[in-house]
Amino acid sequence: MIEARELTKRYGQKTAVNSLSFTVEPGHVTGFLGPNGAGKSTTLRMMLGLHRPTSGSVTINGRPYTDRTRGMRDVGALLDAHHVHGGRTARAHLASLAVSNRLPRRRVDDVLEEVGLADAGNRRIGGYSLGMKQRLGIATALLGNPPVLLFDEPLNGLDPEGVKWVRGLFQRLATEGRTVFVSSHLMSEMENTADSLVVVGRGRLIAAESLKEFAARGTQRSVTVRTPKAAALHPLLSDAGATVETHPDDALTVRGMSAPHIGDIAFRHMIPVHELTNNNASLESAFMELTADSVEYAAGEAR
């Protein structure tokens, strides 16, 4: 379990993390989301004792990480896959970590096999692709077989097969009762992987809840309508206040109006309806809507 309590970090006049409080429970994959500059990386570094909080605290299983002596046996982390010596082989890199953390050498072969690098273990890391370095970073996090795992953008550089593998790995680790905390910008993958979310913006907490609860907070739900008289129904719905988008195959996407209301309008005007389906708000649309006021570096519209 990870617990942050009024966690704050200031750099001079800039507040990177502002009174942040949340709990990450074991047995779940928890996604850590926020716009660029939201304070996610700073928060992860404070969890690992790499940055000292200005105030507040963060503990892992009841104690600060800096009070622990078992190192990689307690917490495994991937913060930056590039922070490895390119002249070393992957096997040598992991072996040195195993020795320094008093881990059995067999763990090196175990994790290389688990991440798919067994055949590349004797190659120098400098010749690895970004995806291979990500796999090595994940192997490093798994080396001590820890109960708590932290990952910062672990999917960068992975091909579709690698992304699918990581998704299954995180879910399996959570099923084993571990605490799995994953920071990522890939909303589609978080939607397929995470059970719970911690969402931050400008260093402050926006939400700490299940993925389904967070997605449901978005207001951009829509209704799919399919009718052979789409051209006739479109202006009727628009005049009633809905936003209507036309698609091929007699389909309409309607926002701002419930399915029963749409059905009533179609019935009153004798318009046959072949489909009337509620579309739940996606994680991405909810995230964009609920963090809109927290975007630090907003791009201008294309002209």
Report the pLDDT value the prediction gives residue 300, as an integer from 0 to 100: 47
Q: How far apart are CA 256 and CA 119, in angstroms?
A: 55
Report the pLDDT value the prediction gives residue 71, as an integer from 0 to 100: 85
| 293 compared with 84, residue with greater pLDDT | 84
3-state secondary structure of 279: strand
Q: What mean pLDDT do residues 203-211 have?
A: 94
Share of the chain above pLDDT 90, in %: 74
What's the pTM?
Answer: 0.79
Give every CB contact of residue 269 below 8 A, 6+ residues apart in sequence. 232, 233, 236
pLDDT digits (tens, 9 = 90+) for 233-265: 999 999 999 999 998 888 999 988 889 999 999
- Architecture of the domain spanning 222-279: 2-Layer Sandwich (3.30)
Residue ranges with strand state E in the chain: 2-11, 14-24, 29-33, 55-60, 75-78, 148-152, 179-183, 196-201, 204-210, 222-226, 243-247, 251-255, 275-279
Report the pLDDT value the prediction gives residue 127, as an integer from 0 to 100: 95
Q: How far apart are CA 273 and CA 259, in angstroms?
A: 11
Q: How far apart are CA 303 and CA 186, in angstroms?
A: 26
| 286 compared with 181, residue with greater pLDDT | 181
Report the pLDDT value the prediction gives residue 220, as an integer from 0 to 100: 64
CA distances from 30 to 59, 73, 167, 173 (A): 16, 20, 12, 12
The distance from CA 192 to its chain's CA centroid, rounded to whole angstroms, is 10
Mean pLDDT of the chain: 91
Please, which contacts does 244-248 make with residues 24 or more away whose CB atoms are closer than 8 Å? none
Please, which contacts does 111-114 make with residues 24 or more away whose CB atoms are closer than 8 Å? 111/139, 111/140, 111/142, 111/143, 112/139, 114/139, 114/142, 114/169
- Residue carrying structure tokens 């997605």: 215
- Token pair for residue 103? 């881990």
CA distances from 111 to 52, 91, 108, 276 (A): 31, 10, 6, 49
pLDDT digits (tens, 9 = 90+) for 37-47: 899 999 999 99
Report the pLDDT value the prediction gives residue 295, as an integer from 0 to 100: 62
Q: What mean pLDDT do residues 183-192 have?
A: 85
Whether 149 shows a pLDDT value over 80: the answer reads yes
pLDDT digits (tens, 9 = 90+) for 82-130: 889 999 999 999 999 999 999 999 999 999 999 999 999 999 999 999 9
Question: 48-62, 151-165, 273-287: which range is least confident on average?
Answer: 273-287
Report the pLDDT value the prediction gives residue 148, as an integer from 0 to 100: 97
Q: Is 2-216 a CATH 3.40.50.300 domain?
A: yes
Measured from the Cβ of residue 51, the count of other Cβ atoms closer than 10 Å reads 17
Q: How far apart are CA 252 and CA 255, in angstroms?
A: 10
For residue 89, give the DSSP letter.
B
- For residue 209, what pLDDT band results from cuts at 50, 70 and 90? very high
Report the pLDDT value the prediction gives residue 303, as an integer from 0 to 100: 40
- Asked if 220 contacts 281 with a C-beta cutoff of 8 angstroms, the reply is yes
Q: In the beta sheet, which residues pair with residue 111?
A: none
Q: How far apart are CA 12 and CA 159, in angstroms?
A: 40
- Residue carrying structure tokens 């009718």: 227
Report the pLDDT value the prediction gives residue 299, as an integer from 0 to 100: 46
- For residue 219, what pLDDT band results from cuts at 50, 70 and 90? low
**Domain coordinates of the chain in residue numbers?**
2-216, 222-279
Q: How far apart are CA 244 and CA 5, in angstroms?
A: 45
